[in-house]
Structure 1
Amino acid sequence: MMASPEFRKQLEGYSLATAEILYRMPDHPSLLQSYIWQDYDLCPEFPALRKFLDFWSRTLDGPLFKVTVAHCRLIKPAELKAVGAEFRLH
């Protein structure tokens, strides 16, 4: 059984990146439209997102207005918390 390509990317340091892209409507420039993009990418450079935004700028008519990016590492070191007390029943 082989690991999925997404899992392999996570082991290589990729994290799940989500971008909300606001762009102006080509026919109505005063209106903004929202587009959600999500993929595994390397933080903080985000090469996959930059490649997508370059493609957008070159080929699509709706000019970009604002891009908001969030990311989360899905595979990370275990989080340990100290327990201050222990209670036993029976």
Structure 2
Amino acid sequence: MTDPDFVLQVKGYGLSTVQIHYYLPDHPSLLQMFVMQQYDIAPAFPRLDRFLDYWRREIEAALHSVRVAHNHLIGPAEWRAVDGVITIN
């Protein structure tokens, strides 16, 4: 059985870390934070868009800001040629 997260990565998804700052209606002067990680496709972020649409419809907390960090975990191998010889005694 293949891991579903690995299948998403092969399809081009990368790991997104989302930091959401929001205000609750009961405490409008208190800025709160929600952090989540999910696999998503940059730069469109369709899964994040669906989540934020849900937030606006169903959650009474007012959004202040959303920060996203994204990293493709599977990509081409990186290497560089090194000119030299290391001698070990």
Q: TM-score, normalising length from structure 2?
A: 0.94
Structure 1 residue 44 displacement after superposition: 0.4
Structure 1 residue 82 displacement after superposition: 2.1
Structure 1 stretches lacking a partner, 5+ long: none
Counterpart in the other structure of 1:47: 46
Counterpart in the other structure of 2:31: 32
Structure 1 residue 25 displacement after superposition: 1.9
Structure 1 residue 54 displacement after superposition: 0.5
Number of residue equivalences = 89
Structure richer in strand, relative to its length: 2
Q: Counterparts of 2:25 and 2:76 in 1: how far apart (Å)?
A: 45
Alpha-carbon RMSD: 1.0
- Per-residue deviation, residues 27-49 of structure 1 (Å, max 9, x unmatched): 11111100002110011000000
Moved more, 61-70 or 23-32: 23-32
Counterpart in the other structure of 1:15: 14
Q: Counterparts of 2:52 and 2:34 in 1: how far apart (Å)?
A: 12
Counterpart in the other structure of 1:56: 55
Q: TM-score, normalising length from structure 1?
A: 0.93
